[in-house]
Chain A
């Protein structure tokens, strides 16, 4: 493994209380929470925070959420999907209000990260809300070095489930170095001329640059999704060391 993955930082990541500045409805099942940290020393695109909720009887629940905002922004954006019967995500979507205090710590993780100094090309593959950390990378790319070749393959259940559709659309318009590819797995509009069904080897091969271009892959989504995409990439001949993965959920949902 490359020893240059990230500089060492050896300070503790303490819990802090952020203030919810805004809550944005992204889709029927997804909201973005915009948080003002009490203090923040910056982050790399791809990192996450841990959230901790405390009930009045002292019970606590912790979960991880990727940071969707780029390091250039002062406020942190988390994008959360509702997991039915979940303990934390329904709270964040239904109970949390602007002005509330939210306990969290971060930034966490120094492997699934990218920044413009590493260059490209980068090939990002998102399954559902797995788009979150990849969005931080794309936002950072846009604000720093938009000429770095990048592609995003984004698998969603339906068009209505695509998070950040408008922003991605605007981002890609006029950017010849950014390729956006959507595939819809469950429902699609009758006039949809994008891809259908799960990401397969053909779709990957066509949109992942060539081996000679030596792309770095960032794959994020449910465990089953990540597992299948990463093994397809190895089968296509890409070096496993260039394939970085982050798994969000235990199930292949």
Chain B
């Protein structure tokens, strides 16, 4: 790749240490910005259920209380949004994808890809390899508190090593599928995989 042209008169206002170690093009925020395509749905936990599916068949389904009773995992991770902010050391609690497989009695994932389905019709696709071995959690708590609706509550997927749109908010259903299919943003110009370290923001990156 050619060296990018220097922008005359541009100097960093940030300390080098602030962007050192961040994925390319990202900057640090301490705020927690909200990003979604439309209104925040109002979901009552009493009406809420979450399902794990293999194609059209049900592998498991949980009410809020049942889900809360599953083994809990707490992780501290950095999150990277495609709109360029990165937030360090965020603390989440929920049920790991590995534990979900275990509780439905699966020793291996049955298919190579997963589509996450959410309230509001939003979907996102992921390779199963990016969800297993501690890589993903269905999060119900942020910083020790129940996840706020604007941030995806009652539950969101958390896949912190990919751009944050992959961490789908208002999660309702995880569906195994044999072949990869693009989700909502993935069919609207965003990258199919979304690795921040390779700056896979948009189609073709």
Q: With A60-B25, A111-B185 in contact, do A244 and B31 touch (Cβ < 8 Å)?
A: no
B39 near A9: Cβ-Cβ < 8 Å: no
Please give the distance in Å from A128's CB to the nearest CB on chain B: 16
Please give the distance in Å from A59's CB to the nearest CB on chain B: 4
B4 near A1: Cβ-Cβ < 8 Å: no
Tell which of B7, B31, B84 touches A55, judged by Cβ atoms closer than 8 Å. B7
What residues on A are CB-neighbors of B110 within 8 Å? none
Alpha-carbon distance between A111 and B37 when the two chains are bound, in angstroms = 8
What residues on B are CB-neighbors of A157 within 8 Å? none
Please give the distance in Å from A98's CB to the nearest CB on chain B: 12
Which residues of chain B from 172 to 205 have a CB within 8 Å of any chain A CB? 184-185, 187-189, 201-205
Alpha-carbon distance between A251 and B19 when the two chains are bound, in angstroms = 21
Please give the distance in Å from B34's CB to the nearest CB on chain A: 5
Does A5 reach chain B (CB closer than 8 Å)? Answer: yes
What residues on A are CB-neighbors of B6 within 8 Å? 54-56
Does A24 reach chain B (CB closer than 8 Å)? Answer: no
Alpha-carbon distance between A251 and B34 when the two chains are bound, in angstroms = 9
What residues on A are CB-neighbors of B31 within 8 Å? 250-251
Does A12 reach chain B (CB closer than 8 Å)? Answer: yes
A13 near B36: Cβ-Cβ < 8 Å: no
B39 near A245: Cβ-Cβ < 8 Å: yes
Alpha-carbon distance between A249 and B31 when the two chains are bound, in angstroms = 10
Does A110 reach chain B (CB closer than 8 Å)? Answer: yes
Alpha-carbon distance between A97 and B8 when the two chains are bound, in angstroms = 9
| B contact set with A: CB distance below 8 Å | 4-14, 16, 19, 24-25, 27, 29, 31-42, 83-85, 120-122, 150, 184-185, 187-189, 201-205
Chain A to chain B contacts (Cβ below 8 Å), 12 pairs: A3-B187, A6-B189, A11-B204, A55-B7, A59-B16, A87-B14, A95-B9, A109-B188, A240-B39, A243-B38, A245-B36, A250-B32
- New A-B pairs, 11, CB < 8 Å, besides A15-B4, A95-B10: A8-B187, A13-B205, A55-B10, A55-B12, A59-B16, A86-B13, A227-B34, A230-B38, A241-B38, A245-B38, A250-B31
Which 3 A-B pairs rank lowest in CB-CB distance, beginning with the nearest?
Answer: A12-B204, A250-B33, A230-B39
